[in-house]
Amino acid sequence: MFWLIIFLSLALNILYYLVSQKLKIKIFSRYFVGFILYSSLILSLLIYFKLDFIFVNFFSFFVIYLLFFISLFLSMSMKYIKSPTYLIFKILNKKSTKKQIIKKLEKQRILEIRINDLEKQNLLSIKNKKISLKENLGIIINLFFFMKKFLNIKSEG
Amino acid sequence: MSINFLILMNIISYFLSLKIFFFIFKMSYAFPFRRADLLSFIFNLILFSIISFKFYPEYFFIFLLINLNLFYIFFHLINMIVTSPRTKMLIDLKGLKNNEIDIRQYLKKYNCTVIVNNRIRRLKTSGQIIEKDNYFFLKKNKMNFLYFISLVFSFIEKI
């Protein structure tokens, strides 16, 4: 029975992830809202089909289902924008000086791409050559702030 | 002790043990993982495996999965805070008055040179790259985790 709970929570999450990637959902808030709708539908189906083995262990199922969702959600950001470390790895397949690495990364406009992505994600706005933080996703930014302070770590970038 | 309470305890314990291990080991690495992350995972996995074996042996794999997921989530979240340029921008902006800054002024402080310097320092410390006569190259005489990481990226890109 526990294998079924594990399998179901993983399979449902993978299914949602694959479908949203096929639909090219890149905006985090849309992915999140879609997940809530999808989960409501799944819950209705579980009630309709009376899958009692899940309701007996609902809390375990819910926790694993949620943790799988967060894991896949965090992997999503790696899909569309390549990490600078990955780009440096590609550059270093041929030996290079620091200047050459910087030049190649500048050519790839890594910072501009990220600023534009944050604007698309509706997390910041660009007006009159000024970037400003939007207040609509305060919870997520506060979570980063809390973690940073709680673990006493530095954001180096 | 109910199973729900035990699961909740596992999550809280993971969070608190991260704090303790980060206090002890700070940002030291057993590449590709931070020691604090790795030890939190091992500590909680062993602790809750023993407890689950004693009280709920059938739930063992549930606890294994919970801890594996927590390991991945916290490892990734902390990586985002420490190394991700997008997260750094958000955190920097949050710390500013009115949460705004002139782009040119910001790019003077945070730019490709800073990004490359940070990464070269981290990769050199973890022994993934070598510097010789001002040239940098990948260390190929041992299993290079950068190669493994690039495979992970390629896989994620495809799915």
Whether residue A4 lies within 8 A of chain B, CB to CB, comes out as: no
Asked if B153 and A83 count as a contact pair (C-beta separation under 8 A), the reply is yes
CA distance linking residue A101 with residue B41, whole number of Å: 35
Instruction: State residue B79's pLDDT score.
Output: 93
Condensed to tens digits (0 to 9), the pLDDT of residues A106-144 reads 999 999 999 999 999 888 899 998 999 887 666 778 888
Q: Which of residues 46-105 of B touch A (CB under 8 A)?
A: 58-59, 61-62, 65-66, 69-70, 72-73, 76-78, 80-94, 98-104
* Percent of chain A with pLDDT strictly greater than 90: 62
For the residues A34-55, what does the mean pLDDT come to?
92
Sheet of A130-133: strands edge to edge? A124-127, A130-133, B100-102
Reported pTM: 0.89
Mutate to test the interface with A, among B136, B138, B154, B158 (most CBs of A within 10 A): B136
Task: Report the pLDDT value the prediction gives residue A140, as an integer from 0 to 100.
Answer: 78
Are the Cβ atoms of B88 and A157 closer than 8 angstroms? yes
pLDDT in tens, chain B (159 residues): 789 999 999 999 999 999 999 999 998 888 788 999 999 999 999 999 999 989 999 899 999 999 999 999 999 999 999 999 999 999 999 888 888 999 999 999 999 999 999 999 988 888 888 999 999 988 876 556 666 666 776 676 666
Q: Minimal Cα–Cα distance from B34 to chain A, Å?
A: 12
Q: Do B89 and A151 touch (CB under 8 A)?
A: no
Give the model confidence (pLDDT) of A89-108 as tens digits: 889 989 999 999 999 999 99
- Separation between Cα atoms, residue A82 and residue B84, nearest integer Å: 11
Residues in chain B with CB shorter than 8 Å from the CB of A71 are 69, 72-73, 76
The percent of residues above 70 in pLDDT, for chain A, comes to 98
- Do the chains contact at B70 and A67, CB–CB below 8 Å? yes
pLDDT score, position A137: 63
ipTM: 0.90
The CA distance from A105 to A90, in Å, is 11
Please return the burial class of B68, using the count of CB atoms within 10 Å of its CB with bins 0-12, 13-18 and 19+. middle
* CA–CA dist B119, B3 (Å, integer): 43
A147 touches chain B (CB under 8 A): yes
